[in-house]
Structure 1
Amino acid sequence: MNKTMLIFKHEFRTLVRRTGFILMTVAFPLLGLLAIGGGELISGIAGGDDPGEVTQVTIGYVDDAGLIGAYDQQTNFTFESFTSVEAANQALVAGDIAEYIYITPDYLQNGSVARFTVSRELETPGDRYDAIRNFVLRNLLGPEADPDIVDRAVYPLNLSNIVIDPVTGLPADTQGGFSQFILPYIFAILLVMSIFTSSGYLLQGLAEEKENRVMEILLSSVSSRQLITGKVLGLGAAGLLQMAVWLISARFLANMASENFSEILGTIEVSTTFVIIGLAYFILGYLLFAIIMAAAGSIGSNARESQQMATVFTLLAVSPMWGMVFLIENPDHPVSIFLTLFPLTAPITTIVRIGVADVPLWQIGLSMLIMALSVVGLLFLAAKIFRTFLLMYGKTPKLGEIIRLIRQS
């Protein structure tokens, strides 16, 4: 046990002192702070120095359809009539108007409206599009229409979705929406990064120690079980520390984002349950992939070949990210449930599903149980692989040879 603890301390200290590990650990909180600060700065610039000051914009129009009546004023948009496109164009070039629109004679048949401006744009700005749309729509309805009906025609819906708890019949505590999804989505990405960073260091270290013949010296002092146990636990503890830093900073950043961008993001909350589930999946996911990486590191003759062998499992683990749209739109589909229960895809799939739907507790519990059993089973298999291949040098064995040697061990 003392030797295992020595290896544990060595691997933990070595990893947490790595520049790459430190940068990755602090990158998420710093990027989050920069994003929030940048958003506030942009909002301040866009809003101007005086929040109460409204910039008035003049938009010209040429109505060849004969539809425009008396309505020509909005909150910060004034619409000015021109008799011809040439006159409107001269005013635009002279800077008397910001832009102008041309309503074609056949507007009622095809809704064709051309917008002219002196600046290049990716698309029509949202405020300009809304202003032009409201201008045309209010004039189509005419001054004789009831103002309330006109307002409802312009803004027909103020739709809100309310999720009802099927047990109590009352509004549920978690209402879902974008704010509930974005945090699990980001966390799923961070979860993958942390798991594969820690387990990747394990694979790289084992492969390099084997390639440089350092493994022979290590195994002369410690057993293979002590070596792998110390490495897995040491690197796992470093990864757990990283996840803890990210989760603590996530709660802080979520509160800042909710206060400053509540209109866009809504209320973002990092619940205790989510933290517990996230840490549990990190621990199980790390143990699972660390054992796989350790096996790959002991089989490969060098670091490059070991990493190539591990790529298959890495691609399986991140495969739910490729079907993210499917998971979001079909969180309760049998395929989504299967990915939740399949050990290699369980961490990402479950975290993403939590953000868009109420995942039954039995699915989460069964998923964790299957992952735990997989860890135990792979641990026994990895022990055989370790004993068989750790001191085997030369050409990397093929799959058939690997299976044969494992059976003989």
Structure 2
Amino acid sequence: MNKTAIIFKHEFLTLIRRTGFIIMTVAIPLLALVFIAGGEILSAITGGEPGPADTVEIGYVDPSSVISGHEEQGFIKFIRFESIEAANSNLVAGDIAEYIVIDPDYLDSGAVARFTPSRELEVPGDRFVAIRDFLLDNLLGPAVSPDLLDRAKAPVNLSSIRVDPATGLPSEDQGGFAALVLPYLFSILLVMAIFTSSGYLLQGLAEEKENRVMEVLLSSVSARELITGKVLGLGAAGLAQMAVWLLSARFLADMASQNFADVLGALEVSVYFVTVALAYFIMGYLLYAIIMAAVGSITSTVRESQQLATIFSLLAVSPLWGLVFLVENPDHPAAVFLTLFPFTAPIATIIRIGATEVPLWQIAASMGLMAATTIGLLLLSAKVFRAFLLMYGKTPKLGEIVRMLRQA
């Protein structure tokens, strides 16, 4: 067995036996299981029917005389009061949850004032719907049929169907919220897996350098063999972690009941998506692992290594900060740039795949640029290793780094 393979085996086995790595690998599926179990328990408690169990009483004052009845609206009951003072005293006494006052010129202004004892960011959706339907029933009920009145309350049941431009037929990939859920969750797992593995690489190099173990290692193996074995070994551990998460996700999706059927039932994990996602995981890991290796060789302590590595970590997750923009504008030039820019490509591309059909040329160009950047950084990191791996005592300044790299 050659030296690179020995280092690969050692790093892989060491990482997968770490308590922190095991906890991280197991914690994600366990949290999802708790979430699903919580939904099942909540559904059992409520009997599978959402909404309040008790009747809510809302008072109303009608100087406009537009209300003639229809005071039962689902679980909400409207109670008439002849004056604002009477309604207000019942509200203070806790006999009603809130009350509304219909403007005397309501037919011209549509003005309705709502009085409630609690602070709210906005009117709760169920209360707004009940008040709206209460007014519609009284305004239109005497003049139109019940079917027409029901349609007036819900005039549109809109569905969007994507047409395949090539065939003119409904596309198999309809997109929508469900299509975005999987790329978003996968991008989160991608970030966690990449930085778990590359973070251990950074920490290991810094500790070995700080404890002078590196001197012993480099007396037996070359710098190239050392970094290659470490990067590949930790990368294999990260890939194994991703495999556990994906297999768990498939198992947990099958366990989810009708509580999540609207979302989970529409999820489609295509071979294309899995292939692209795994390719970006491998390339993203190699890119950031090489960067972390260079950072670990330059800095003199673990703390300094972690502080410097934070800059690259923030750069990698930056597409998540603009998640709403990427989802709403997946074909914007800025979104295309984030796909082509090697340091943001893994996350940006995965998110865009959930929102639109990313052209193959953009994915190919993105991977090509990532590969070229990785190779370039690998060559540069070899120089960094030779120049700084055995340097102790202080972290060199930027000018010193440039000068020593030119001499390496």
Residues 43, 259 of structure 2: 8 Å contact kept: no
Aligned 8 A contact 1:61 1:88 in 2: yes
Q: Within the alignment, does 1:339 sit opposite 2:359 as a pair?
A: no
**Quick one: which amino acid aligns to residue 23 of structure 2?**
L
Shift of 1:339: 0.9
Corresponding residue of 1:375: 374
Matched, 1:40 2:73: no
* AA in 2 matched with 1:253: L
Partner residue in 2 for 1:22: 22
Q: Which residue of structure 1 lines up, in the alignment, with residue 198 of structure 2?
A: 199
Shift of residue 31, structure 1, vs aligned partner: 1.1
1:261 is paired with a residue whose SS is: helix
**Deviation at residue 26 of structure 1 after TM alignment:** 1.2
Q: Deviations over 1:142-166 (max 9, x none)?
A: 4112434322221121011111111
Query: What do the CA deviations read for 1:228-255 (whole angstroms, capped 9, x no partner)?
Result: 1111111111100111111112223334
For residues 281 and 291 of structure 1, the distance between their equivalents in structure 2, rounded to whole angstroms, comes to 15
Cα distance between partner residues in 1 of 2:267 and 2:36: 14
Matches within 5 A, 1:162-241: 162-241=161-240
Between 96-105 and 125-134, report the one with greater CA deviation.
Answer: 96-105
Hey, what's the Cα distance between the residues in 2 that align with 1:160 and 1:266?
17
CA deviations on 1:252-275 (whole Å, 9 max, x unpaired) are 333445742234666223223222
Deviation at 1:178, TM superposition (A): 1.2
Q: Is the 8 A contact 2:191 2:317 kept in 1?
A: yes
Is residue 2:292 matched to residue 1:289?
no
Correspondences of 1:384-395 after superposition (within 5 Å): 384-395=383-394
Q: Which position in structure 1 is the counterpart of 2:306?
A: 307
Q: Percent of pairs identical after alignment?
A: 69
Instruction: Name stretches of at least 5 consecutive residues in structure 2 with no aligned partner.
Output: none
Give the superposition deviation at 1:98.
Answer: 5.1
Q: Relative to structure 1, is the Cα distance of residues 44 and 88 closer, same or farther in structure 2, using a 3 angstrom cutoff?
A: farther
Q: 1:263, 1:206 → 2: CA distance?
A: 47
In structure 2, what residue type is equivalent to 1:21? F
Question: How far, CA to CA, are the matches of 2:396 and 2:114 in structure 1?
Answer: 68
The answer to whether the 8 Å contact 1:255/1:269 transfers is no
What TM-score do the two structures reach when normalised by structure 2?
A: 0.91
The corresponding residue for 1:328 is 327
The change in CA–CA distance for 1:95 and 1:397 in structure 2 (over 3 A counts) is closer
**CA 108–19 in structure 1, closer or farther in 2 if over 3 Å, else same:** farther
The alpha carbon displacement at 1:126 in A equals: 2.5
Structure 2 letter corresponding to 1:170: L
CA distance in 2, matches of 1:161, 1:47: 32
SS of equivalent residue, structure 1 residue 102: strand
Post-superposition offset of 1:295 = 0.8
Counterpart of 1:112, as a letter, is A
What is the DSSP-based 3-state SS (H/G/I as helix, E as strand, rest coil) of the residue aligned with 2:305? helix
The equivalent residue for 1:83 is: 82
TM-score (norm 1): 0.91
Instruction: Say which SS state the counterpart of residue 374 (structure 2) adopts.
Output: helix
Query: Do the aligned partners of residues 95 and 394 (structure 1) sit closer, same or farther apart at CA in structure 2, a change above 3 Å counting?
Result: closer
Q: What amino acid is aligned across from residue 17 of structure 1 in structure 2?
A: R
Q: Which region of structure 1 is more displaced relative to structure 2, 213-222 or 363-372?
A: 363-372
SS of the residue corresponding to residue 72 of structure 2 reads coil
| Distance in structure 1 (CA, Å) of the matches to 2:8 and 2:85 | 80
**Structure 1 equivalent of residue 70 of structure 2:** 71
The amino acid that maps onto 1:396 is: T
Residue type of the alignment partner of 1:85:
I
Match of 1:349 in 2: 348
Q: Distance in 2 between matches of 1:106 and 1:359?
A: 54
Instruction: Verify the 8 A CA contact 1:247 1:275 in the aligned structure 2.
Output: no
> Which residue number in structure 2 is paired with residue 104 of structure 1?
103
Letter in 2 for 1:83: E
The CA deviation string for residues 84-130 of structure 1, in whole angstroms up to 9 with x for no partner, is 33444565677765544322324345433334556666654322321
Secondary structure at 1:79 match in 2: strand
1:160 corresponds to: 159
Tell me the distance in 1 between the aligned counterparts of 2:44 and 2:159: 28
Give the corresponding residue for 1:249. Answer: 248
1:2 is aligned to 2
2-side partners of 1:54 and 1:334: how far apart? Answer: 50
User: What is the Cα deviation at residue 333 of structure 1?
Assistant: 1.1
CA shift digits 1:274-309 (9 cap, x unpaired): 222211111110011001110111111222222333
Segments of 5+ residues of structure 1 without an aligned counterpart are none
- 1: CA distance between counterparts of 2:112 and 2:265? 35
The separation in 2 between residues aligned to 1:318 and 1:94, in whole angstroms, is 52
RMSD value, Cα: 2.6
